[in-house]
Structure 1
Amino acid sequence: MSRLRILHIEDDHDDADLIHHAATRLGVPPDWTMAESRPAFLEALTGRDFDLVLSDSRVPGMDGQEAMRLVRERHPDLPFVFVSGTDDPLWVEQCFRQGAYDHVSKDQLWRLVPVLQGVGAEAERRRLARLARAHALLVEIVKQLSLARSLDAVVDIVKSGARQLNGADGATFVLREGDHCHYVAEDAIGPLWQGRRFPLRACISGWAMLEGRAAVVPDIYADERIPADAYRPTFVKSLVMVPIRAEAPIGAIGNYWAHPHEATPEEVELIQALADSTSLALENLSLYRDLERRVRDRTRRLQAANAELEAFSSSVSHDLRAPLRTIQGYADLLATRVDPPLEGTPLSYVERMRSSARRMQVLIEDLLKLSKVSRTELHTLPVPLGRIAADVIASLRNVSPPREHLRISIDETLQAEGDPGLLTIALENLLSNAWKYTANTESPTIEFFSEKFPGSATVFTVRDNGVGFDMALADELFQPFHRLHPEAEFSGTGIGLTIVQRIIHKHGGHIWAEATPGDGAVFRFTLPAPASRCSTAFD
């Protein structure tokens, strides 16, 4: 049991000694405050906190029942016990009716210890309940601080939270500015020093920062660390001040009381825990500001890079295509319009020029597509993937020689959500690859369907039974300009699958492949689930 703080109303010194001696059997001697008269009682009642009031039936200027009424008006929950020589049962009954906790006869002081033990147990329960409420409040304050993104937000949270934690009459938030203390904000029953600055060595918050530890001041006028003249215009009679960060403190948080009050170890621990959380919140603010600066710098660099990429794309589109068209045009003239017609080695040279020019044209187109994918902003809509896939196959049939025994299986009901233009490019590349790599297959099959794996989103699948590839080389599959088959066997630039991967990743999806040499390949990808809408972008 904690040490009981008892206000004892008694004018007989011998009786008081006997009562105090009887109370020594508690084990923990109480902290007694004596009041021998009405004025002394009133001064003590307003001067400090108590766990219990013991009262005789009468002292000069006041009877015990009046004292109990005054206690009830100011502290309704404070236990009041009569210890008197009056044995009148009617008077005792009247005391109980008016709210007495108990009555102990001075002839039966052996009963006093059990009564004090009961009061102590209740005081301990109240203390633990207050502490539990304070800890719950501290958790909520810490949550709020973790979400604070500005100094003003931190200050507002701390100044009100500091006062609520310990039920103080006031709280202040102080920041160190060089050799001065800046009283940034306060929450109090009366004005203090908000907005003012004082030298570190001229105020108690400066002392807490310089010493790196808490300052507990039960009586501001009895502590030489306190500039009393600065406190006289205020309500403050006692305080506790703790540093924000023990090592190289950056500020302080204070609690103030309008009556003499010695902050308990629990109260000091609570406000120090708040100060420690405030330190983290202020450090987080610095990190957030630095992160925001980095994001702004990175955004500017990305914007500049995009501008350069846009300029490069324009240059590629114009400056490279124009001479390429010239080379291809004159090569075509050499192959078809000269008289006499070229034959043998000269004609072979010209055909190589025409072929290389066509390959360069395709490479430029693929590079521009890759650039477009990186720069294009997503416009998300429901997309009929199955219908797009069917259109892609129809286009491939129109531009390719007839293929016998070709089997196409496409689920035209497939839907997804994404950018229609980009997803069309992705399907064109995947299905064109399947078309290309089944060209030499005896009974080619190309499929597009969906699968559902446990615990995953819908998986879209393009499968063929073409040449496949070695899975040991799968890491190179989506890298630009990497080809798993020689140009002499299958034409291409090695950029198509890179474009597909960037499109799927841009949508927040994932793509992977499985294959066996000579037994085809399977490409699977995921996309966000489609939202409920009345129509699609292609309706």
Structure 2
Amino acid sequence: MSTSFGGATARKIVYLDGGDSNAEDVYETLRKGAVGSEVVRIARVEDYRAALESSGVDLIVADDPMPGLPGLSARDLAWQRCPDVPFLCVSDTVTPERIAAARDAGAADLVDRRNLPHLLAAVKCSLNLMVMERRIRRRARLVSAIQELSLVRTLGEIQVIVRRAARELTGADGATFVLRDSGYCFYADEDAISPLWKGKRFPMSACISGWTMMNRQSVIIEDIYADSRIPAEAYRPTFVQSLLMVPIRTEAPIGAIGNYWATSHRATPEEADLLQALANTTSVAMENVRVYEELEQRVKDRTVQLEATNRELEAFSYSVSHDLRSPLTVVRGYSEILLSVLGDTAEPGVRRYLEQLVAGSKQMCEIIDDLLRLALVAKTELHVQEIDLSREAGEILSKKQATDADRQTECVIEPGVTAQGDPGLVRVVLENLLSNAWKYSSRTAAARIEFGRQASTDGSCVFFVRDNGAGFDMEKAASLFAPFHRLHDQKEFAGTGVGLATVQRVISRHGGKIWAEAAVGKGATFFFTLPGSKPKE
């Protein structure tokens, strides 16, 4: 039942009777103003505490003073049990100072008990305010639940969110989350003042959640024992007196959400709409989870396939490269022997053919070596430790300078640069990047090669190798790390096109990143990260 005061509604009004001579007039005024509803008159503190523990209280009217419990003390007690319920004080002594004190203490108002029309107006105002605040809170809770459901990835997360939100939206004493399981209703989860049916299955035709799903509509039942659709025996061990049940998705329902009350309560249309809105959002979340799990499984299956394919390709690449190396070595060796034996006696055409054969076999051996190195990167087990990158870079560039003594190149290496990584594999990275810098700056008059580190925007350490050589067009950088793809002609700068692919694989195995910045004729800078490395202090 609901109480009506000119449009404002309430389920139950508690009147705390202090025994004043006007108490009967106050009670009768409340009772007549709330035609056909429940007005509970209480004279003892113990009964007042019990009433606060019960459900459905929408307004408290308290005499002040009340023997054993002054009006504002009664408000403090109500605040602890039901802080959202409006609290009105009635008194024979009403002054502006006392009204202000009552409102400061949390009371809706302090009313002269002898001015009954004023009392009715105060009740109406308090109830209207309560209805608006409750509506705002419920809609805010619905929005919060919708936001939470938009982020879930599992059915279990959905159940936790829905069971809590379902109770809070309507102020129910219990809520259930029911799933359709072939011809059965599976009570998957619940949130209630005492146990209901969590984990149990009932035939669709034998429970109200099944009726809701089969009829694709919500149902409101004020007295469960007066409704033939309710299996009374299943409800007798529970607290349930009234319920509201809505389907999860009205087209081809996949479940239901139930609300339950321990005292007689007829769910309002607003409560039914709120719960149905939650159910509709739940159906979308459940479909999202299904799609997400399906996509996740596809990704896992595809990943397994790709890993298997990569292993096969790596094995094939290693095997072919290894098998080709021996005959190519033989070809190259005999070609060099022929050149040496024939010497100047060889005809010019024959000598040119032999020189091309030696050069071609040499280049092919380099490609095979690079392919073997690329394949081994994936097979090598990482042994991470601290590496002195400055020392490694110095050794690599010193060897370059020793083999090309006539070349004048400024090499700048930041001292004390260290990183966490596998020493052998990180050495491969530096050799490739510094060798490229050496090669592509070979035609620059004042060549400069630099190795160092810098801090990124997030504070992590970024290493770099920079040169002022040929550079490249950044529009072509997308394929920079692809095997066998080169941005320069073989005649201009020799190479196999495998080195940078190897570098990227090494960095990826360490969990880092590599990228480049360049401009044609102005050089290039390669940046890379190795997780766990300390930035420059």
Q: Name the TM-score, length of structure 2 as normaliser.
A: 0.73
Structure 1 position 523 matched with structure 2 position 529? no
Unpaired runs of 5+ in structure 1? 10-17, 34-49, 56-63, 83-90, 534-539
Find the partner of 1:357 among 353, 357, 361.
361
Is the CA contact (8 Å cut-off) linking 1:473 and 1:484 kept in structure 2? yes
Correspondences of 1:377-392 after superposition (within 5 Å): 381-392=385-396
* 1:285 shift after superposition: 3.3
Correspondences of 1:209-358 after superposition (within 5 Å): 209-228=213-232, 230-232=234-236, 234-337=238-341, 342-358=346-362
Task: Tell me: CA distance 1:389–1:290, structure 2 relative to 1, closer, same or farther (3 Å).
Answer: same
Task: Tell me: CA distance 1:130–1:372, structure 2 relative to 1, closer, same or farther (3 Å).
Answer: farther
3-state SS in 1 of match to 2:490: coil
1:499 matched residue in structure 2? 502
Distance 2:315 2:325 in 1: 15
CA-atom RMSD, angstroms? 4.3
Task: Tell me: CA distance 1:205–1:454, structure 2 relative to 1, closer, same or farther (3 Å).
Answer: closer
CA deviation vs aligned residue, 1:346-388 (integer Å, no higher than 9, x gap): 3332222211111100011122233344565666554433222
Task: Tell me: CA distance 1:467–1:220, structure 2 relative to 1, closer, same or farther (3 Å).
Answer: closer
1:406 matched residue in structure 2? 409
Is the CA contact (8 Å cut-off) linking 1:65 and 1:95 kept in structure 2? no
* 1:231 shift after superposition: 3.7
CA deviation vs aligned residue, 1:82-130 (integer Å, no higher than 9, x gap): 9xxxxxxxx99769969795479xxx99832321332344445555666
* 1:421 shift after superposition: 3.3
Is the CA contact (8 Å cut-off) linking 1:209 and 1:252 kept in structure 2? yes
3-state SS in 2 of match to 1:260: coil
3-state SS in 2 of match to 1:246: coil
1:73 matched residue in structure 2? 50
Is the CA contact (8 Å cut-off) linking 1:4 and 1:120 kept in structure 2? no
2:19 matched residue in structure 1? none
1:13 matched residue in structure 2? none
Distance 2:394 2:347 in 1: 44
Distance 2:437 2:310 in 1: 33
Find the partner of 2:512 among 498, 508, 511.
508
Task: Tell me: CA distance 1:445–1:228, structure 2 relative to 1, closer, same or farther (3 Å).
Answer: closer
Is the CA contact (8 Å cut-off) linking 1:23 and 1:112 kept in structure 2? no
Q: Which amino acid in the other structure matches residue 297 of structure 1?
A: D
3-state SS in 1 of match to 2:429: helix
* 1:254 shift after superposition: 1.0
3-state SS in 2 of match to 1:427: helix
Task: Tell me: CA distance 1:422–1:127, structure 2 relative to 1, closer, same or farther (3 Å).
Answer: farther
Is the CA contact (8 Å cut-off) linking 1:460 and 1:525 kept in structure 2? yes
Q: Which amino acid in the other structure matches residue 299 of structure 1?
A: T
Correspondences of 1:182-201 after superposition (within 5 Å): 182-189=186-193, 192-201=196-205
Task: Tell me: CA distance 1:368–1:521, structure 2 relative to 1, closer, same or farther (3 Å).
Answer: same
* 1:329 shift after superposition: 2.5
1:439 matched residue in structure 2? 442
* 1:79 shift after superposition: 2.9
Q: Which amino acid in the other structure matches residue 50 of structure 2?
A: E
Unpaired runs of 5+ in structure 2? 1-6, 16-24, 75-87, 93-111
* 1:481 shift after superposition: 3.0
Distance 1:335 1:183 in 2: 88
CA deviation vs aligned residue, 1:28-51 (integer Å, no higher than 9, x gap): x73424xxxxxxxxxxxxxxxx4x
2:77 matched residue in structure 1? none
Is the CA contact (8 Å cut-off) linking 2:512 and 2:531 kept in structure 1? no
Distance 2:240 2:456 in 1: 69
3-state SS in 1 of match to 2:8: coil
Distance 2:472 2:152 in 1: 54
Q: Among the aligned pairs, what percent are the same residue?
A: 43
Distance 2:157 2:457 in 1: 45
Distance 2:397 2:66 in 1: 102
Find the partner of 2:175 among 171, 177, 181.
171
1:425 matched residue in structure 2? 428
Is the CA contact (8 Å cut-off) linking 2:9 and 2:128 kept in structure 1? no
3-state SS in 2 of match to 1:261: coil
Structure 1 position 367 matched with structure 2 position 371? yes
Aligned length: 481
Q: Name the TM-score, length of structure 1 as normaliser.
A: 0.73
1:87 matched residue in structure 2? none
